[in-house]
Amino acid sequence: MKKLFITDSSSHIGQEVELYGWVATIRDHKKIVFIDLRDRSGIVQVVGGESFKELGVEDVVCIKGLVKERPPHMVNEKIPTGKIEIEAKELTIISKSAVPPMPLDTDGYEIDEETRLKYRYLDIRRPRMMRNLIARSKMTTYIRNFLTAKSFLEVETPILTKTTPEGARDFIVPSRLQPGNFYALPQSPQQYKQLLMVAGVERYFQIARCFRDEDPRADRAYGEFTQLDIEMSFVTQEDILQLAEELFTSLVKELFPTKKIMQTPWPRMSHAQAQKEYGCDKPDMRKNKNDKDELAFVWVVDYPLFTQQKESDYFHGSGGAKFAPSHHMFTAPHPDDVGLLDSDPTKVRGLQHDLVLNGFEVGGGSIRIHDPKVQERVFDLIGFSSEQKQQFEHMLTAFTFGVPPHGGIAPGIDRFLMALLGEPSVREVIAYPASSGGKTAVVAAPSKAADSQLKELNIQTT
């Protein structure tokens, strides 16, 4: 007798199989009881007798039975196992379930999100959520295989790092071994991946966790997110765009064949053109914006290197600098505009590129500054004090040891998948997201630390 995933049972007609899963629905027809048995792969109808009357919804069971073809008029074309049913020979109830606090046989959109997040381990049981997690797993596996075949090295970078003024608010972690000092959780691996280019890695990628204390919204999870981090040496902006386009075009074709990419090669437009024609830098270029299977990719390039502002608190203590970086402080100026850094910084274009899908920015990147003098000039224009520059001394020192020209891109896994699947929020493609109030509800985080923990870290709270 073969132990199978439920969807595999369709190819074992006439054979006895062993299935494990959860009771999704029960239909009691007196002498005969039908249940839908669910596991990660899908559901199948099981026909049982008197013993099935003991079952409750979400009980965990083992079914041993015969795989039979359904009569033609009973075929359910909506599910992969719709042409078969299991004639139960043996039922084992492994564990009973309490009554779930919400229905699990719907897509779940109609249910209060607070309840869904509190009982996320139940919410994930619904087929839509499981499909999303399976799609995410297949996507990251495809990415790894694609980039590895192109001689990229997957390198992990530190999670406990240094707080530096990069724009967003850091999460900080106290150090027990160095009282009074703090780590920061990385907003991105930006500095580490550039140092890997100095190290001679040349082609790097990472499925990276990133942490930013920013307010949540539909297309941005609170606290943490996942991005595909790519960096390459000896490349032009064109090289980066072509690589990303090849990766995601082939990924969609292989894993999501029902999706239709509207235009290939992907269209490109300048930031100025996007603002003029669409009034934003994330244009939704779909012909039918209600069609979830329509994918409109577009590259937006030629961003201004700086944004001008009257008073800047973009970086803490920046002394009211007139400029802030449009992307980040390591983006290289367009080679034709370098001279304008001294005469008119507002006219300098950056070698920045944003990847937009169906009106969402799903990735951004740039060619990086590799000339220490240019980097110093950018620091000056954004109002960095000598103390703030000192926080990047490791970068400036590394750049004195023969740094190659380099650049990259960092598509967001969460947001890309949200846009690809047509989900209303990134929380629908994340296993355990934080709520809009910043709580990881399933484990009631954040929570208070014990006095003994605070004492060990030399921290007092009021």
Average pLDDT over residues 434-441: 84
pLDDT at position 320 is: 53
Under the banding of pLDDT at 50, 70 and 90, the label for residue 64 is very high
Does the pLDDT of residue 140 top 90, yes or no? yes
CA atoms within 13 A on the CB side of 98: 5
Worst-scoring range by mean pLDDT, 90-94, 385-389, 411-415?
A: 385-389
Does the pLDDT of residue 348 top 60, yes or no? yes
Does the pLDDT of residue 131 top 60, yes or no? yes
Q: What is the pLDDT of residues 13-57, one digit of tens each?
A: 999 999 999 999 999 998 999 999 999 999 999 999 999 999 999
- Residue 95 has a CB neighbour count (10 Å cut-off) of 9
Q: What class has domain 128-430?
A: alpha beta
What is the percent of the chain where pLDDT is above 70? 97
| Beta-sheet pairing, 260-261 with 294-295 | parallel
pLDDT at position 104 is: 96
317: region left, alpha or beta (phi > 0 left; psi from -120 to 50 alpha): left
Average pLDDT over residues 292-318: 77
Mean pLDDT in the chain?
Answer: 93
Average pLDDT over residues 426-439: 91
Q: What is the pLDDT of residues 216-266, one digit of tens each?
A: 888 888 899 999 999 999 999 999 999 999 999 999 999 999 999 999 999
Worst-scoring range by mean pLDDT, 180-184, 214-218, 400-404?
A: 214-218
Q: Distance (Å, rounded) from C-alpha 432 to C-alpha 49?
A: 39
Under the banding of pLDDT at 50, 70 and 90, the label for residue 387 is confident
pLDDT at position 310 is: 57
Does the pLDDT of residue 407 top 50, yes or no? yes
Angle at the Cα of 357 from the Cα atoms of 353 and 358, rounded to 5 degrees: 140
Contact present, 33 and 53 (Cβ < 8 Å)? yes
Q: Distance (Å, rounded) from C-alpha 58 to C-alpha 36?
A: 10
pLDDT at position 166 is: 66
pLDDT at position 312 is: 41
Q: Domain spans of the chain? A: 2-95, 128-430
In CATH, 2-95 is 2.40.50.140 = yes
pLDDT at position 108 is: 97
Does the pLDDT of residue 200 top 60, yes or no? yes
Q: What is the 3-state secondary structure (H, E, C) of the chain?
A: CEEECHHHHHHCCCCEEEEEEEEEEEEEECCEEEEEEEECCEEEEEEECHHHHHCCCCCEEEEEEEEEECCHHHCCCCCCCCCEEEEEEEEEEEECCCCCCCCCCCCCCCCCHHHHHHCHHHHCCCHHHHHHHHHHHHHHHHHHHHHHHCCCEECCCCCCECCCCCCCCCCEEECCCCCCCEEECCCCCHHHHHHHHHCCCCEEEEEEEEEECCCCECCECCEEEEEEEEEEECCCHHHHHHHHHHHHHHHHHHHCCCCEECCCCCCEEEHHHHHHHHCCCCCCCCCCCCCCCEECEEEEECCECEEECCCCCCCCCCCCCCEEECCCCCECECHHHCCHHHHCHHHCEECEEEEEECCEEEEEEEEECCCHHHHHHHHHHCCCCHHHHHCCHHHHHHCCCCCCCEEEEEEEHHHHHHHHHCCCCHHHHCCCCCCCCCCEHHHCECCCCCHHHHHHCCCCCC
What is the percent of the chain where pLDDT is above 90? 79
Does the pLDDT of residue 316 top 90, yes or no? no
Average pLDDT over residues 348-370: 96
Provide the whole-model pTM: 0.92
Q: What is the pLDDT of residues 142-170, one digit of tens each?
A: 999 999 999 999 999 999 999 887 668 89
pLDDT at position 1 is: 76
Under the banding of pLDDT at 50, 70 and 90, the label for residue 324 is confident
Under the banding of pLDDT at 50, 70 and 90, the label for residue 323 is confident
Does the pLDDT of residue 314 top 50, yes or no? no
Average pLDDT over residues 289-300: 95
